[in-house]
């Protein structure tokens, strides 16, 4: 496959990486979590350059986590659970205001984690909607119910403008490279519960440790 091919998004690939995310004892592997996000960014990029400001931020956060994962303390970053423990035990997290650890793994992952909730809500809408439903509406409803609460006005505004240029549902399903719409819908039926489980496990961990509002 050439470079063009590598960039091509496939929903199956994202589904596979999210499947690999959970260990037997329901720990979340950071490597696969990040790989799932890489797949989603590919998808976003295939929708056009209007989404560049979104994918840029996601890529930036992915890269921060990958740097920890491949860094000298990489073994502490194997799972989200071990990362949280390591960073908290070693006071590597700014807990109440930004200070000397503005790019902790914990706060960086929290941003992607919140976006994962948006994704879950959006894909569930996409799965259950009819052919003539507007993706822009599904997208902004999902956003307003989740991620938007954590964004300042200017980001909400920009996101709202980007949603308006999303392709219609048929074209959108096509970009997922799965096959006919029924097949995409079936695959979404598999993907959404998986994404939801990864989200829930992370959410509970962060809630237990009081990390849901990290600056
Ligand atoms: C299919 C359409 C895609 C719509 C994506 C919906 C999400 C809109 C998010 C807009 C984010 C804009 C830019 C960056 C914002 C950052 O300020 C925040 C907070 O980070 P901080 O400033 O605290 O470091 N970043 C985020 O909230 C993470 C956003 C990641 C979004 C990834 C979306 C991936 C979409 C996958 C498509 C299937």
Residue with CA closest to ligand 1 atom 28: 111
Within 8 A by CB and 6+ apart from 6, the residues are none
CA 212/CA 142 separation, integer angstroms: 19
Task: Locate the domains of the chain by residue range.
Answer: 3-208
**57 touches ligand 1 (CB under 6 Å):** yes
pLDDT tens figures, 160-189: 999 999 999 999 999 898 999 999 999 999
| Cα 54 to averaged position of ligand 1 atoms, centre (Å) | 5
- Count of residues in the chain: 215
**58 touches ligand 1 (CB under 6 Å):** yes
CA 164/CA 140 separation, integer angstroms: 9
For the CA of 114, the nearest atom of ligand 1: 27
Sign of the CA dihedral running 90, 93, 95, 97: positive
Structure tokens that stand for 64 in this block: 């921060």
How large is the ipTM? 0.97
Pocket mutation for ligand 1, best pick of 10, 57, 93, 136 (most atoms within 8 Å of C-beta): 57
Structure tokens that stand for 114 in this block: 């919140």
pLDDT tens figures, 110-150: 999 999 999 999 999 999 999 999 999 999 999 999 999 99
The three-point CA angle 28-199-12 to 5° equals 80
**176 touches ligand 1 (CB under 6 Å):** no
Q: Topology of domain 3-208, per CATH? A: Glycolipid transfer protein, GLTP (1.10.3520)
CA 58/CA 50 separation, integer angstroms: 14
């Amino acid at each position: 496959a050439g470079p063009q091919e590598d960039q091509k998004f496939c929903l199956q690939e994202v589904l596979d990486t999210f499947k690999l995310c959970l260990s037997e004892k329901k720990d979340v592997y950071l490597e696969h979590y990040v790989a799932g996000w890489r797949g989603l960014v590919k998808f976003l990029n295939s929708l056009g350059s209007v989404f560049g400001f979104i994918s840029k931020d996601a890529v930036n956060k992915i890269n921060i986590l990958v740097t920890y994962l491949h860094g000298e303390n990489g073994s502490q970053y194997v799972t989200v659970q071990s990362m949280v423990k390591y960073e908290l035990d070693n006071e590597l997290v700014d807990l109440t205001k930004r200070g000397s650890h503005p790019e902790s793994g914990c706060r960086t992952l929290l941003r992607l984690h919140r976006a994962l909730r948006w994704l879950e809500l959006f894909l569930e809408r996409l799965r259950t909607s009819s052919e003539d439903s507007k993706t822009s509406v599904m997208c902004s409803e999902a956003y307003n119910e989740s991620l938007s609460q954590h964004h300042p006005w200017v980001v909400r505004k920009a996101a709202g403008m980007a949603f308006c240029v999303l392709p219609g549902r048929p074209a959108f399903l096509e970009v997922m490279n799965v096959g006919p719409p029924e097949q995409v819908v079936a695959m979404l039926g598999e993907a959404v519960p998986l994404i939801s489980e990864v989200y829930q496990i992370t959410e509970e961990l962060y809630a237990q440790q009081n990390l849901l509002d990290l600056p």
